[in-house]
Chains A and B, each alone.
Chain A
Amino acid sequence: MSLFTSSFTDCLKSLIPRFRNESAGYQDDDLPSGTASHGRTHSMHERPRLARRADPVEVAATLPVLDSLSQQLRDTASDLQQSVLEISTGFGGIAARAKESVQLVRCGLESGDGVSADQTISEIHHVIHGLLAAVKDSGQLSSRLSGRIQELEEVLSRVDGSLRQVEKIEEEARIVGHNGRLEAARAGSHGDAFNVVANETKNLGVHASETSASIRKLAGQLDTSLQSVSADLQARVLVDAETARTSSDRVTVLLDQLGRLHNGMTDSLHKTESVSQSLTQEIGRSVMALQFQDRVNQRIDHVIEALQALQENLSPYSRATSPERTEARVGDWRRWLESRSTMKSERELIRFSNTAAPEGGNSDFGSVELF
Chain B
Amino acid sequence: MAKMALVVDDSTSMRQMVAFTLQSAGFEVIEGSDGKDALGKVNGKAVNLVVTDLNMPVMDGITLIRELRKLPNFKFTPILMLTTESQDSKKQEGKTAGATGWLVKPFNPEQLLGVIAKVVH
Contacts and interface: CB of A to CB of B under 8 A. Distances in A.
Given A88-B20, A295-B84, A290 B13 contact: yes
A74 interface: no
B108 A294 contact: no
Interface size class of A (residues with CB under 8 A): 20 to 34
A294 B109 contact: no
Contacts of B20: 88, 91-92, 95, 287
B109 A284 contact: yes
Q: Majority SS of interface residues in chain B? A: helix
Interface residues of B, number: 17
A288 B84 contact: no
A280 to B, nearest CB: 8
A225 to B, nearest CB: 75
Interface in B37-93: 55, 84
Given A95-B20, A99-B24, A298-B84, A291 B12 contact: no
A291 B14 contact: yes
Interface in A244-298: 280-281, 283-285, 287-295, 297-298
Contacts of A290: 13, 17
B17 A287 contact: yes
Contact of A81 (B11, B55, B105, B108): B11
A294 B17 CA distance: 11
Contacts of B110: 280-281, 284
Given A281-B110, A283-B109, A288-B108, A294 B16 contact: no
A287 B109 CA distance: 8
A203 B108 CA distance: 120
A85 B16 contact: yes
A77 to B, nearest CB: 10
Contacts of A95: 20, 24
Interface string A94-107: 01100100000000
Interface string B84-108: 1000000000000000000001111
Contact of A88 (B17, B24, B84): B17
Nearest to A86: B13
21 contacts: A81-B11, A81-B12, A81-B13, A85-B12, A89-B16, A91-B20, A92-B16, A95-B20, A95-B24, A280-B24, A280-B109, A280-B110, A284-B108, A285-B108, A287-B17, A288-B106, A291-B14, A293-B11, A294-B14, A297-B11, A298-B55
Interface of A: 81, 84-85, 88-89, 91-92, 95-96, 99, 280-281, 283-285, 287-295, 297-298
